[in-house]
Amino acid sequence: MNWQGNAFAFMALLALSFARPAMAHEPPTDGCGADPGKDARELAIMRAPAISTTAESNANGKLPSLVLNEHYAINLIAQERMRFTVRPGRGSRASSSRGGAFQFEVPVAGRYRVSITSRHWIDIVDGRNAVKSVDHHGPGCDVLHKIVEFDLPAGRPLTLQLSGQDDAIVGLAITASPPAPKEERS
């Protein structure tokens, strides 16, 4: 092998040593049309390595816990095995839907975002009542398909329900919504 071949082999080996293996639950980070100002925090979290967790059926009343500002790779289960706290707000859009339920709390009452990599329907339940979403938008890319916002109470267990699609593994994060920009006065 000549010096050019050795140099190419060295560069290829060097590039491979810095590459990390792609995981099935880690979406590609290129080509996302999200607003980098409006969605910067969510994009950063969703591009970080994910914590793997598996949905439970809610049959025994104990749900896996999620915390704010973490990227989760959620393994969903067959939706027909789920016992949702409240009926999902939208019917299934797939023939073999998968779902899951999780518990979380927020430290301060306010607006929070649920970011997800799939088209799953997102419900948040406070006790036995569904919390209405107050806003949503969708960059529609692999790393961040949509963001749904909710006004949430502090200091009590909330349930996050996913339903209606067939993705087996989805990326998800819960974050505080950024404050609204202040209007300038002339």
Q: What is the pLDDT of residues 72-115, one digit of tens each?
A: 999 999 998 888 888 888 777 667 899 999 999 999 999 999 99
Mean pLDDT of all residues belonging to the chain: 81
Q: What is the mean pLDDT of residues 54-76?
A: 89
* pLDDT higher than 80, residue 41: yes
Question: What are the structural domain ranges in the chain?
Answer: 31-176
Model pLDDT, residue 24: 39
* pLDDT higher than 50, residue 26: no
The confidence band for 58, taking pLDDT boundaries of 50, 70 and 90, is confident
Residues in Cβ contact with 27 at an 8 Å cutoff, skipping those fewer than 6 apart: 46, 117, 141, 142, 143, 171
User: Distance (Å, rounded) from C-alpha 145 to C-alpha 139?
Assistant: 6
Tell whether domain 31-176 is in CATH 3.40.50.10800.
no
Q: For residue range 137-178, list pLDDT tens digits in order.
A: 877 777 888 999 999 999 999 999 999 999 999 999 999 998
Global confidence as pTM: 0.78
Q: For residue range 107-133, list pLDDT tens digits in order.
A: 999 999 999 999 999 999 999 999 999
The confidence band for 15, taking pLDDT boundaries of 50, 70 and 90, is very low
